[in-house]
Structure 1
Amino acid sequence: MFLRMTLTLKSCFVTLAILFIWQVEEGAEACTCMQSDPQQAICSSDVVIRANIIGREEVVNGTMKSVKYVIYVIEMFKGPWGIRYVYTSGPCRAYLDNDIGTDYLLTGRQDADGTVHISMCNFLKPLHDLSATELSLIQNLGGNCG
């Protein structure tokens, strides 16, 4: 009886150890962002726009999955005109799925090919949630970025 209990305990220990190692490996892929204030986030972005989220599509490119949000640009503060899509993927993926039809302030980075990427690390906020200070930062974008 004692031997069977010892084997059961060893089996449980091995199972727990495997689960722990698996969980640590999963955690290594978690998203971490350097915390920045809205001014720093806005000034360091390639693109700052006021846009309406009008749709979403899943895009698969090889093994890489991403989400393409279809947007309508209402106001361009920084970046090129003609942006119709923003892409997000990976562990820091931005989640705007429940906000179809919502106006957002979006910041992001632009690749050399013109593709705009957003993530949880960018400043992404529904327009109706912006504070007076945040609105002022956007309106005075040129003067606030040094």
Structure 2
Amino acid sequence: MKEQYIKQVEKELSLPHKAKKEVVRDLNEVFASALEHGETEQQVIQRLGTPKEFADSTAEQFGIDNASSKKRKGIISALVALIVAVVAFSIYAVTRLGKAPEGAIGQADATTNIQIESALGFDVLQIILAVGFAAAVIAVLLIIRTIHKNRR
């Protein structure tokens, strides 16, 4: 129970790594001291509040707004995913734009019987397109999650 609580607090905290380690160390000391004085883990958790409440108050002591930091991370992640999607779609579009018809050689207007396969055995453009779609879906999900969290 204690380990789960501490892990959740660590997950909720938007602090630098060193500060997080300090908070985790302090929490372990709080639990150890309370247990020595006859308190149960459940009583300590009730006294400290939910992991989110504890993380928010701890971040506040460090002079950091825990909620806005998480919101900023969500927005940045969504923007990065959108940029990846746009770049992937752009690469795909640019490479397809000036292409001759499938099966044509050079600038021929008609198709031929000659088939040319890439050395890789698969179409790299299809992978780029799939990455673009995956990044777009991730971006949409991150935007929805950020909006949903901001309404609470």
Shared fold by TM > 0.5?
no
TM-score of the superposed pair, with normalisation by structure 1:
0.28
The structure number with the bigger radius of gyration is: 2
Flag the structure with higher strand content.
1
Flag the structure with higher helix content.
2
